[in-house]
Structure 1
Amino acid sequence: MRKKWYAGAVVTALSVSLLAGCGSNDPKGSASPEAGQASESASSAAPDGGAKLGGKVTIYSPNQAEINNPILKEFQTRTGIEVELISGGTGELLKRVQAEESNPLGDVFFGGGAESLAAYGQYFEVYETKEAANIGDAYKDSANHFTPFSALPMIIMYNKDLVKEGEEPQGWQDLLDPKWKGKIAFADPAKSGSSFTQIVTFLSAFGRDDGKGWEFVKSFLDNLDGKMLSGSSMVYKGVADKEFTLGVTLEEAALRNLEGGANVGIIYPAEGTSAVPDGLAVIKGAKNMENAKAFVDFAVSKDVQDMLQKEFKRRPVRTDATETQGIPASKDIKLVDYDFDWASQNKDEVIKKFTRIVTGQDK
C-alpha cells in the first residue's frame, strides 16, 4: 500500500487478431487445436456471454510474454477490447501505479505476488469478481483489493549437467553448503515479487520471530557470493543455460523449462515451501473501469483456469478447475506456515532489512 516510482517499462500495443485458444506452450503464442475449438464458440461474446464490449484496457504486468500474449489476445478476440500491455518488474510497476495515483494511466495490474499487491492495496479498487464463489477461500483477499490468479509453489531448480546424481540439495538448508558458493541464482527481492515471497518463505521455515530465519538469510546471501540478479526471469534462464548450478524460483518456471527440453530438475524443499498466489487488481480510478473488471473476470473464468496447468504449468485457484497432471498434488507438497497478512504488512521492513544485510549495515 505504499511505494514510489518506476523505470524502464516496455510498452506493447497488442493488435486485435484471432487466436485459436487462450493458452500455448509455444513462446510465440501459437495455440493448441483443443483451445481453438473453444475459442471459435466464444469469440463473438464478452466473458459473461454478452455482446462485445469494445474500447480499450491498459494492463501493467510483470508476467512472462508466453503467459501474457495468448491470454491477452484471446481476451481481445472475445470482447473486442483493445489491450495495451506495459511490461516490467513487479516492484517498478507497483511504484508506477503509486506515482500515477492522481492520474491513473493503467487499468489493471496482472501478475505479481499477492502479498505485494496487498501491500499496495490503497491504490486498487475494491472489486469482488463475478467468479468469487468458485475460487478457493485460502487464496482470496478478504479486502478484495486483488483477485488471485494462480497458486505458485517455490522450489529449488538445478541443472542436471552440473549436479551429480545423488548430490542434489534436498532443502533450503543445503543451499548453505560451501560447494554451491557463487553457483546459486537468486533475484533481488526489492525488484522481484517472487523473490520477496522466497525471503518470507525462508523466514517462515527457519524462524520469523526468533531471528533464526534472518540468520539463514545472511548465510544464504554469503553463499551467493555477491551474485544477486536484477530479475526473476534471470534465475531460471541462468540455471537452464548452465550459468548457475542451482536457482530459487517458481515451480511453473522450472516446469516450462523442463518441457522445453532443458536438462533441469525440481526439488520441493524438505523444510517446506510456500504456494502464495499471484493475482490481478483493478487500479483505483481506472479510466476503463468496466473493461478492467471484465478482464479480471475473464482471467479467473473456468476455461482460462482449466488451461493454467496444461498450457502454462501453473496451479489454478478455482475449486472446480481441471486437476493438475504429472506433478505432485498440492496436498502432497509440504508447506511452511506462511503468514500472508504479516508478509504484506511488513513488506517494506523486510526489504529494508534485506538491503541492510546486503550492504553490510546489518551484521
Structure 2
Amino acid sequence: MKKLLTLCLSVSMLAGLSACSTPQENTSQELVIYSPNSDGLIEATIPLFEEETGITVRLQQAGTGELIKKLESEKNDPIADVMFGGAHSQFIQNADLFEEYVSVNDKNLIESYQNTSGFTTSYVLDGSVLIVNKDLIGDIKIEGYEDLLNPALKGKIATADPSSSSSAFAQLTNMLLAQGGYTDEEAWKYVEELFVNIDGKIEGSSSSVYKKVADGEMTVGLTYEDPVLTLINDGANVDIIYPEEGSVFLPATSAIIKDAKNMENAKKFIDFITSQQMQDIYGTETTNRPVLENAKTSDTMKPMSEIPTLIEDMDYINEHKTEIVDRFKDIFASIN
C-alpha cells in the first residue's frame, strides 16, 4: 500500500475541518477529496477543477483499502467530501459510507457504466489486455487467450496472483467469461491449462508483470491497459493485445461521502469528472480510457468500437468473489 500522502492539507487542518460544523461550510469554497489515484490522473483533474470552479481542493492520497477504513472511522463526523477512485466492488461493499447522487452527465456515459446503484459514478475505464515483448515473441502468434496455451510460451508468461492482485483477478474473471462463463467447467479447464503453461511463476505485484515483459525477462504478460499504453508512449518495444475472445473493461469509481460537509461542491466535482471537457482530457492527455460515449481519445488508444468487448456481471462477481478465488487456489495448488 502506498504511503499516505497529503497535498495542501496538514493534519491540523484536517482536524479543524472535522471539528467545524457551522452553516457557513455549506457555502464554503473548499472540497476534501480522498483518492487512491495515480499522480498523473490527479494532476490532470484537480488543478483544472480548482481553476474552473474557484473551489480549493484538499487532497489526501492512499490505497483504497486504507481510505475506506478512514471513511468508516469518520462516518459520524465526515472529513472527506468525495472518494475519487477505487474499484466499483469496494464502493458497493461499503454503500453505507456514500451519498446518493446521479450526475447530470450520467445519461451520456456508455450505457453499461451508467450509475445504477444511485451513488457510484464511473469516470474512466481500464481493460484486461495482454502485453507482448516484440523482441522476444518471434513468430509466435498472440491474438487472444487461446494462444497462451502454446507450449513454446511455457514459463514465459507473466501474471500476478488473482487471490491478491485486483488486475490478476480481473484477468481471471475475464478469461472465464471469454471461455464460457464463471461456472463453466470448460472455462475452468482452460484456467488450469493456462497455469500449467505459466509454470508456477507468479509475480509479487501487478506492476512486476508489465515491467518484466518490457525489460525482456518475460515474453507475454496478463495485465491492464493503462500501464501498457504508458510504456508504448514512452517508447518501449512492446505490443498491446486485446484478446480476440473479448476484453472486460472495469470502471474506476467515485462517490460523494455520506453527509459530506461540502455537499454542493462535491456534486460539482462529480459532474466535472464526467463532463465532456474532462473526459476529452482523460482520453487525449492521459492513458486512462474515458467513459463518456463520444469522448476523444489519442492515437495510441484504440477506439472502443474496434475492440472485442465483454461485459462483466459485477453483481455476480461481488457476491461470488471468495468462491472464485478459492477454486483458483485449489487449481494452482494441484498444479504445483
Question: Which of the five TM-score ranges fits, normalised by the shorter chain?
Answer: 0.7 to 0.9
Whether contact under 8 Å (1:149, 1:317) holds in the other structure is yes
Change (3 A) 1:220 1:292: farther
Whether contact under 8 Å (2:284, 2:296) holds in the other structure is no
Match of 1:209 in 2: 183
Match of 1:236 in 2: 210
Candidates 237, 260, 277, aligned match of 1:263: 237
Whether contact under 8 Å (1:113, 1:197) holds in the other structure is no
Q: Would you say 1:249 and 2:223 are equivalent positions? A: yes
Whether contact under 8 Å (2:175, 2:187) holds in the other structure is yes
Candidates 5, 27, 32, aligned match of 1:12: 5
Whether contact under 8 Å (1:53, 1:81) holds in the other structure is no
Match of 2:43 in 1: 69
Match of 1:167 in 2: 140
Whether contact under 8 Å (1:75, 1:295) holds in the other structure is yes
- Secondary structure of 1:196's aligned partner: helix
How does the TM-score come out when normalised to structure 2? Answer: 0.80
Distance 1:268 1:200 in 2: 15
- AA partner of residue 146 (structure 2): Q
- Secondary structure of 1:10's aligned partner: coil
Change (3 A) 1:277 1:100: same
Q: Which has the higher helix share?
A: 2
How big is the shift at 1:240?
Answer: 1.8
- Secondary structure of 1:236's aligned partner: helix
Higher Rg of the two aligned structures = 2
Distance 2:81 2:334 in 1: 39
Unaligned segments of structure 2, at least 5 residues: 10-26
Distance 2:65 2:325 in 1: 11
- AA partner of residue 316 (structure 1): P
Match of 2:168 in 1: 195
Change (3 A) 1:14 1:218: same
Q: Between the two proteins, what is the percent identity of the paired residues?
A: 34
How big is the shift at 1:266?
Answer: 1.2
After superposing the two structures, state which structure 1 stretch, 291-300 or 139-148, moved more. 291-300
Whether contact under 8 Å (1:191, 1:230) holds in the other structure is no
How does the TM-score come out when normalised to structure 1? Answer: 0.75
**1 or 2 for the larger relative contact order (CA 8 Å, sep ≥6)?**
2
Distance 2:146 2:286 in 1: 29
- AA partner of residue 331 (structure 1): S
- AA partner of residue 126 (structure 1): E
Candidates 309, 313, 330, aligned match of 2:283: 309
Whether contact under 8 Å (1:151, 1:276) holds in the other structure is yes
Change (3 A) 1:338 1:76: same
Change (3 A) 1:99 1:15: closer
Distance 2:215 2:79 in 1: 37
Whether contact under 8 Å (1:91, 1:192) holds in the other structure is no
- Secondary structure of 2:61's aligned partner: strand
Whether contact under 8 Å (1:81, 1:291) holds in the other structure is no
Q: What is the root-mean-square deviation of aligned Cα atoms in Å?
A: 3.1
Change (3 A) 1:94 1:199: farther
- Secondary structure of 2:258's aligned partner: coil
Distance 2:309 2:302 in 1: 13
How big is the shift at 1:343?
Answer: 2.2
Match of 1:80 in 2: 55
How big is the shift at 1:105?
Answer: 5.5
How big is the shift at 1:158?
Answer: 1.0
Candidates 231, 237, 257, aligned match of 1:283: 257
- Secondary structure of 2:167's aligned partner: helix
1:1-363 equivalence runs, <5 A: 8-15=1-8, 53-61=28-36, 63-78=37-52, 79-88=54-63, 90=64, 93-94=67-68, 97=71, 106-164=80-138, 166-207=139-180, 208-286=182-260, 288-322=262-296, 325-336=299-310, 338-358=312-332, 360=333
Q: Deviations over 1:160-202 (max 9, x none)?
A: 12211x3142211222333333332323344443333222111
Figure out how many residues of one structure are paired with residues of the other and give that number.
Answer: 317
- AA partner of residue 14 (structure 1): L
Match of 1:23 in 2: none
- AA partner of residue 54 (structure 1): Q
